[in-house]
Amino acid sequence: MHDPLRTALLVIDMQRDFCDPAGYAAQAGLDVARLASVSANIARLIAAARDAGTPVIYTREGHLPDLSDCTPAKLQRSRAAGAEIGSRGPLGRLLVRGEPGHGIIDALRPAPGEIVIDKPGYGAFYRTGLQTVLERMGVARLLLCGVTTEVCVHSTLREAVDRGYDCITVADACAASEPALQQPALAMIAVEGGILGTVAGSAHCLAMLAEREAAWEAT
């Protein structure tokens, strides 16, 4: 069945470096318990997407071991935050590909064959093959979840909207680094009639995916 709004679930940066007390975010002073708290809702979305035949795509922020893809400005910002990229921590070198901290948390481990996009920036389209992957799959709509709402989720959302994707940000499957930032970050999406797409709860998105599962099974 041709689907003019084929959907993909984009799980953004649910890595140990952001969700584990021994990772990058904790060393930078962020509340990683808050960031990890959305993992249960994300797990439900992943399960529903798999059942519906909806692609699940994961992103991981991190850099090459020689840091050649990390700009001096980004490196300096991490240093100022007290968690210099590439320095050693309990989970290996911070935000470096291949280190234990770079991996997706066990609760959301990708299934065999699911796509993982490694990105050196905040947005998932910057210096990655994400757009090529989405075009190959015929995806036109993205469900976005993950961390952090105000940085990597928002950066990816804005990149996606500029590329013409219809976007739904799943409010209770995203977490901001500070509680005060969550609602303003979500409110920005809806201005000007939904200039950055729409915001929905996970219950709404699960119902949408269940409808897609029924349509999938009927084909």
From 13, 17, 20, 118, active-site residue: 13
Active site residue 13: yes
Cα–Cα dist 133/113, whole Å: 13
For residue 157, count CB atoms less than 10 angstroms from its CB and return exposed for 0-12, middle for 13-18, buried for 19 or more.
buried
Cα–Cα dist 174/68, whole Å: 30
Which amino acid is present at 116? V
Active site residue 17: no
From 70, 119, 167, 205, active-site residue: 119
Rg (CA), the chain: 17
The candidate with the shortest Cα–Cα distance to 43, out of 198, 177, 170, is 170
From 19, 70, 145, 152, active-site residue: 152
Positions marked catalytic: 13, 119, 152
